[in-house]
Structure formats: structure tokens, C-alpha cells
Structure 1
Amino acid sequence: MRERIFKSSNFHQPNVGEPIRSVVSESEDSAVIAWYVQPGQRISAHLHPVGQDTWLIQSGMGDYQFDASGSTKPIQAGDVVIAHRGEVHGVLNTGNEPLIFVSVVSPAAAGYELKTA
């Protein structure tokens, strides 16, 4: 039987350089990713050309980039943040504690395009 229950805390990995993308589970339908973003770290602006990325913020806070021009909105623990197909998104941890969240990309083959200014 395929594993269906996971402890997200087992996947969150702090890193000094860039945040680490830790795959919790992946199937044809979706990829579930655990993120641990240290204060001052950033997940660069990107988009998924053929899918959606949903973030479930577990702790911390940050400035969520929601368009290619760099516009941001604050996010924090308890928020659910959705980037629909083709929508630019990224985040900068502006807090004093780690920004910890789980991302669900659907479908798993949603693609990834980095967006630079």
C-alpha cells in the first residue's frame, strides 16, 4: 500500500544558501513539496506554465511576489496562497523566524519557468 500520511516536519530542511525543496510525495496528479525558508532567504519569482501551485503556510511570514513587476503582499502562518496556471509567484522571508510551508503543485508535470527582472 502506498504511504498516505506524512509528517511535514520530517521534510523541512534549513539551509544557509538557497532554500531547499524537499519532495514529500509525487504522483502524476501532484507534487507535494516542503519548504523551509530562513529569514532573508528568497524563493525566486517563477511560474508553472501548465499547472497550479498552492502554498499552505505553517509558520513565519514573508512578502509574496504575485506578478512579474515585483508587486508583493504579506503572507503569514495560517494563509493559503494560490498561484493559478501561468501566474508569477515567489517569496522573501521578511520575518525573524523560518517561513515554513507546504506547496502542492498540480499536476506534477506543471513545468517551471524562472522569471527575472
Structure 2
Amino acid sequence: MIIAKAIATFFATLVIVKVYDEFRHGRENIIMLFFWLATWSTVLTLAFLPGITFWLRENIFGPDTGLGTIFGIGLIFLLFISYRLYIKADRAERKINKIVTELALKDLDKD
């Protein structure tokens, strides 16, 4: 369980620092900042207070299957990968918009 906590803490810290840096430099909006802060705060809460997941699982899904930790670690990796993909796609979109705007302005100047 200590390994799961360490992995969750590492990735949560990494994402929170990166998303704050993106926000600070104007490459991220405040809604996405709060979304990722809430998401990774929830991940940390569940990693350090696993009793919440046991309670939810027993009340929603029934008895323990024993794979919760493995699936939890997998979820952490998936969330981290989805964050990185979102950032890369957003940057590509911004670059494309900038290039299109510059080309349109050049065409306008030629006319």
C-alpha cells in the first residue's frame, strides 16, 4: 500500500505543479486548473484514505475482489496519461490557430 501511496503522490504532485505552471503562463484556463486540481486531490484522498474506497465498493459493488490496489494504480497511470495527452492536444491546437491567424494576416496584407 505504501507503493501505491508513493506513486499517487508522485504523479499528483507532478500534474499539479505542471498544470499550475501552464495556468501561470496563460496556456491553461482556470476551469481546467480546478478540474485537474480536484481530480488529483481526489486521487490523493483515495490513496491515503482507502477506507473510503472500501466503503463505496461494499455499498455499491458488494464484497471485496482483492484487485482494488492494482486497478487503483492503473487508474492513476491512466489519469496521468490523459492529462499529458490533453496538454499536448491543446498546445497543438493553439499552435495551429496561431499559424492560421498569421497566414490570414499575411494574405490580408498582400491584398
Instruction: Name the one with the larger helix percent.
Output: 2
Between 1 and 2, higher relative CO (CA 8 Å, sep ≥ 6) is seen in 1
State TM-score, norm by structure 2.
0.24
State TM-score, norm by structure 1.
0.23
- Higher Cα radius of gyration: 2
